[in-house]
């Protein structure tokens, strides 16, 4: 029986994780859940999964959640301390890190310090603080399993191989809904168009990141830290069908790929049950139904955000945290209808231009770089339309 703390249980990854738990009651038990704003769904989850601890992001939401959970044997907490209590619950063996954005940083760091194994969906932690996180993972001797489908694919494709034999990691990308949209037409693309992902059903922020391809930039950084691979060895291929989830090329010219129906339940389940494989309900693949699998290189002039991510990787240290913060602000502004689609890249680029790269020695310093990036991006987009 594996005991789980699920951070971000009301999100797309959180809900899929709980579906796997519900289908495998003999394998998993929920110890703690956390959520941001969706209290209705959160209360239903608390009722169904009986966690010992339930924490909401905002302490002001505690009274309402307590009301909704009257009669249930659950400790309701809130704020960062609540999230940390959920992440470090004494009896939990594994923490599913599925909060979106840099908000996941502090609770995930606390889980590692408490010696918990991590199933990592929250890629922003590795983007902003990759080196510090990987140092902590090794210092505290915890296991870190990727949930992101590409990284799960790489993880599955490197098993049993020596890292020195890897010549290339090839991350696949769907290219998102605007893969074939000419740049001049992208400016008119609305939030609805951008949220209409062709292959994957995901939370709103990552869906916009997929449309800009910032998601793939974040994933290059994630792969760089997870697999200790120099960025020159990480390649991105656009693969519109999203059937091959990523590949690893070896020095002998052999390429090992992982394939499957695009459904996050498969990589989530593998992170939860490794090395066992468990039933997920994911439709098996029938390759005879595909007319072809295609691959091409991304156009960095068209996908400015991907180019900016490469620039942040090259600058290193504080720049990825600043880029990530600016991206979170710009995506939220786009989702609020405050800026247009192409202005997302503009806000990020101008924030990066204004930043002086400096070393990051602690999670606190990462959080400071994150705050600086948020403040700067807000003032930049505030000035855009004036
Ligand atoms: P989502 O928006 O659907 O859910 C996010 C969860 O985090 C929710 O429970 C929300 O309430 C909570 N949350 C949001 N802001 C918070 C805050 N400030 N403090 C505490 N909790 C907060 O997002 P998602 O699509 O499930 O993605 C979660 C993470 O997993 C992201 O980092 C994303 O990049 C990554 N990921 C998602 C997918 C996917 O298919 N959805 C695939 C790969 C990686
Ligand atoms: Mg992914």
Query: 191 with 335: CB under 8 angstroms?
Result: yes
Question: Quick one: pLDDT at residue 38?
Answer: 96
pLDDT value for 297: 96
Structure tokens at 70: 């009257």
So what's the pLDDT on residue 291? Answer: 86
Residue 244, phi-psi category: left (phi > 0), alpha (psi -120 to 50), beta (remainder): beta
Asked whether residue 161 carries a pLDDT value surpassing 80, the answer given is yes
CA-closest candidate to residue 328, choices 79, 127, 78, 134 = 127
Q: Which band of pLDDT confidence, cut at 50, 70 and 90, is reported for residue 386?
A: low
Residue 100 is predicted with a pLDDT of: 95
Q: Closest ligand 1 atom, CA of 9?
A: 9
Average pLDDT over residues 217-232: 97
Does residue 182 register a pLDDT over 90? no
Residue 213, by phi and psi: left (phi above 0), alpha (psi -120 to 50) or beta? left
Query: What pLDDT was estimated at residue 198?
Result: 84
Among residues 153, 141, 147, the alpha carbon closest in space to that of 8 is found at 147
Residue 90, both tokens? 């004494």
Report the pLDDT value the prediction gives residue 189, as an integer from 0 to 100: 84
pLDDT score recorded for residue 110? 98
Tokens of 346: 């503009």
**Sorting pLDDT into bands at 50, 70 and 90, what band is 4?**
very high
**pLDDT at 192 (0 to 100):** 87
Q: Where are the beta strands (DSSP E) in 239-377?
A: 244-250, 255-259
Q: How wide is the angle at C-alpha 234 spanned by C-alphas 233 and 238, nearest 5°?
A: 140
Q: Does ligand 1 come within 6 angstroms of the Cβ of 12?
A: yes
Q: Kindly identify the ligand whose nearest atom is closest to the C-alpha of 104.
A: 1
Q: Is the pLDDT of residue 163 over 80?
A: yes
| High-pLDDT (> 90) share of the chain, % | 91
Ligand nearest to the CA of 223: 2
Query: In the structure, what pLDDT confidence band is assigned to residue 385 with cuts at 50, 70 and 90?
Result: low
Are the CB atoms for 357 and 317 separated by under 8 Å? Answer: yes
The token duo for 257 is 């790929």
Identify the pLDDT of residue 184.
81
Q: Is the CB of 100 under 6 A from ligand 1?
A: yes
33 alpha carbon to ligand 1 midpoint, in Å?
13
Class of residue 187 by CB neighbours under 10 A (exposed 0-12, middle 13-18, buried 19+): exposed
- Given this model, what pLDDT does residue 162 score? 97
pLDDT digits over 54-86, tens only?
Answer: 999 999 999 999 999 999 999 999 999 999 999
Going from the Cα of 153 to the center of ligand 2, the distance in angstroms, rounded, reads 10
* Cα separation, 352 vs 332, whole angstroms: 18
pLDDT digits (tens, 9 = 90+) for 336-368: 999 999 999 999 999 999 999 999 999 999 999
Q: What percent of the chain has pLDDT over 70?
A: 99
What is the best residue among 5, 6, 10, 13 to mutate for testing ligand 1's pocket, by most ligand atoms within 8 Å of CB?
Answer: 13
Tens digit of pLDDT for each residue in 139-154? 999 999 999 999 999 9
Ligand 1 atom having least distance to the Cα of 37: 11
Q: Is 175 in the pocket of ligand 1 (CB under 6 A)?
A: no
Which protein residues have a CB closer than 5 Å to ligand 2 (ion)? Answer: 148-150
Question: Radius of gyration of the chain from Cα atoms?
Answer: 20
- Whole-angstrom distance, CA of residue 320 vs CA of residue 233: 19
pLDDT score recorded for residue 382:
86
Can you tell me the mean pLDDT for 9-25?
Answer: 97
Average pLDDT score over the chain: 96
Give the pLDDT of residue 7: 98
C-alpha dist (Å) from residue 112 to 52, 121, 138, 321 = 20, 15, 10, 20
- Name the residue of 121, 198, 221, 242 whose CB sits within 8 Å of the most ligand 1 atoms, as the mutation to test its pocket: 121
CB-CB contact of 267 with 150 (8 Å): no
* Alpha-carbon separation of residue 81 from 56, 264, 336 (angstroms): 10, 29, 29
């Amino acid at each position: 029986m594996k005991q789980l703390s699920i951070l971000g249980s009301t999100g797309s990854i959180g809900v899929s994780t709980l579906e796997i738990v519900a289908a495998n009651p003999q394998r998993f038990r929920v110890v703690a859940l956390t959520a941001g704003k969706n209290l209705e769904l959160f209360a239903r989850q608390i009722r169904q999964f009986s966690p010992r601890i339930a924490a909401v992001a905002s302490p002001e939401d505690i009274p309402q959640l307590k009301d909704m959970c009257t009669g249930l044997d659950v400790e309701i907490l809130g704020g960062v301390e609540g999230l940390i209590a959920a992440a470090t619950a004494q009896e939990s063996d594994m923490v599913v890190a599925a909060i979106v954005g840099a908000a996941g940083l502090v609770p995930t760091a606390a889980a590692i310090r408490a010696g918990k194994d991590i199933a990592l969906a929250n890629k922003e932690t590795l983007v902003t603080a990759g080196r510090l996180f990987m140092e902590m993972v090794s210092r505290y001797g915890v296991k870190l399993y990727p949930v992101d489908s590409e990284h799960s694919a790489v993880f599955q494709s490197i098993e049993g191989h020596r890292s020195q034999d890897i010549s290339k990691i090839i991350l696949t990308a769907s290219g998102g809904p605007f893969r074939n949209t000419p740049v001049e037409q992208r400016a008119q693309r609305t939030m609805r168009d951008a949220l209409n992902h062709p292959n994957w059903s995901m939370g709103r922020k990552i869906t916009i990141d997929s449309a800009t391809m910032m998601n793939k930039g974040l994933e290059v950084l994630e792969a760089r830290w997870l697999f200790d691979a120099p960025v020159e060895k990480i390649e991105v291929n656009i693969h519109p069908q999203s059937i091959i989830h990523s590949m690893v090329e070896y020095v002998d010219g052999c390429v090992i790929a992982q394939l499957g129906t695009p459904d996050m339940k498969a990589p989530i389940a593998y992170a939860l049950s490794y090395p066992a494989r468990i039933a997920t309900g994911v439709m098996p693949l029938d390759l005879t139904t595909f007319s072809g699998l295609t691959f091409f290189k991304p156009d960095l002039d068209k996908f400015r955000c991907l180019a900016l991510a490469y620039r942040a990787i090259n600058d290193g240290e504080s720049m990825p945290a600043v880029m990530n913060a600016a991206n979170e602000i710009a995506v939220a502004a786009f989702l609020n209808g405050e800026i247009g689609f192409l202005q997302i890249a503009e806000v990020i680029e101008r924030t990066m231009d204004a930043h002086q790269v400096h070393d990051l020695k602690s999670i606190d310093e990462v959080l400071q770089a994150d705050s600086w990036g948020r403040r700067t991006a807000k003032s930049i987009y505030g000035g855009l339309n004036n």
